Amino acid sequence: MAIKYMYNAMTQDGLDVHLEPVKIPHWVRGKESAEMIAPRAKSLAILGLGSSVGTPPEGIKAEVLVVQSFDELKQRASEAIGRIVVFNQPFVSYGETVAYRAYGASEAAKVGAVATLIRSITPFSINSPHTGLQDYQDGVKRIPSACITVEDAELMWRMAQRGQRIVVRLTMGAKTLPDADSFNTVAEIPGWEHPEQVVLLSGHLDSWDVGQGAMDDGGGAMISWEALSLIKELGLHPRRTLRAVLWTAEEQGGVGAQQYFDLHKVNMSNFDLVMESDLGTFTPEALQFTGSDAARKVMAEVVKLLAPINTTKLEAHGEGTDISPWLKAGVPGASLHVADSRYFWFHHSEGDTMSVQDPQEMNLCSALWAVVAYVVADLQDMLPR
């Protein structure tokens, strides 16, 4: 429905819009619940992790082993057999700590665990579980995996430290269905001189099934549309084509973007710059850029034009799941650095709603996105590789 909606909205906006079909994974959460039975009765807020298997209909009731790291799990491997392993790892950074969400189930299964409950990957919690993708390793038994709240992970850790026996019942109706049909949504303003050369701006249109996905990544998708919309409204005609792509199935591991890359990499030399916004659209602070030293010099001049909104900083490391195949292939890439300290408070949770978004902050992000995209698209030459 979101793809159809955006196709119509961007068409009505006067842009050239088309859909590119892709095949995507189809995972269904189903009904899920967890409760502590001992040492006392307590319901546990959970969110099953993407691609997880379900439990038998009656659920899994087992004793709990609480660990704080993969190392501790290895040291206590003999205690894990037949247990539900609870990971209570501290939050260091998303990039580092997300390994527990991604690989916790397979690591626990290797030592005989029957399920895993993983402390949500967030620095801040109001008893909120945060979902996300988990990744089974080939040749390892697939066991059910869900995230629990920071509070409940710490509670069970304290109980375990006191030597109390903890029993939990976990019920998950999760299942994976055959791959489904979806689309990457593409809108363009054709270049007047080099229509075959492209500056690509992007965000992803899919989100997890909790909250609204307004922040992750509604904001990134909307500013990529708004940038084109502004340029059209101003009557500007860039030399090269401006292309906004709203990716599908980013959350399952950049699935739509990988298929886009496979389809279009034959024209690699015509991709001037690829841009992605997927870390929130709070107040912009800088543009992050990956490319040659010569290209960086050009981009440093481009961002000087953003002095009126005070975002003239150019930082290293443009990043994004969806543009990473292009970056690895040597195409210059850019991403938005925003005041994102609150991003992981809401990320992949019921809290990711329109209430997180601020129109003025989004206007600033759109302005940065539009200026950078247009100016690069209208330069005499493509960015040097």
pLDDT digits (tens, 9 = 90+) for 108-133: 999 999 999 999 999 999 999 999 99
* pLDDT value, residue 20: 98
CATH classification at residue 338 = 3.40.630.10
Task: Identify whether 309 is part of a domain.
Answer: yes
**For residues 88 and 148, what is the distance between their CA atoms, to the nearest angstrom?**
10
Q: Is residue 362 within 8 Å of 221, Cβ to Cβ?
A: no
From 113, 139, 173, the end of a domain falls on 173
Query: Within the chain, where are the H helices?
Result: 2-12, 70-75, 94-110, 150-161, 219-233, 255-264, 293-304, 324-328, 343-346, 359-378
pLDDT band with cut points at 50, 70 and 90 for residue 370: very high
Residues in the chain: 385
pLDDT tens track for 296-342? 999 999 999 999 999 999 999 999 999 999 999 999 999 999 999 99
Task: Identify whether 254 is part of a domain.
Answer: yes
Is 7 found in the same domain as 34?
no
For residue 126, what are the domain limits? 30-173
Task: Identify whether 384 is part of a domain.
Answer: no
Task: Identify whether 385 is part of a domain.
Answer: no
**Phi, psi of 30, deg, nearest 5:** 70, -175
Is 127 found in the same domain as 7?
no
Tell me the catalytic residues. Answer: 250
Q: What is the share, in percent, of the chain residues with pLDDT greater than 90?
A: 100
* pLDDT value, residue 211: 96
pLDDT band with cut points at 50, 70 and 90 for residue 274: very high
| The two structure tokens encoding residue 169 | 């019942």
Element at 17 (helix H, strand E): strand 16-28
Number of domains into which the chain is organized: 2
Is 207 found in the same domain as 72?
no
pTM of the shown model: 0.97
Omega within 30 of 0 (cis) for the link into 39: yes
pLDDT band with cut points at 50, 70 and 90 for residue 69: very high
Residue with tokens 């040597």: 330
Is 260 found in the same domain as 184?
yes
Q: List the beta strands (DSSP E) in 153-280.
A: 167-172, 175-189, 194-204, 240-247, 271-276
* pLDDT value, residue 223: 98
| The two structure tokens encoding residue 50 | 């993407």
* pLDDT value, residue 297: 98
Is 190 found in the same domain as 286?
yes
Is 44 found in the same domain as 129?
yes
pLDDT band with cut points at 50, 70 and 90 for residue 177: very high
Over residues 180-196, mean pLDDT: 98
Is 16 found in the same domain as 93?
no
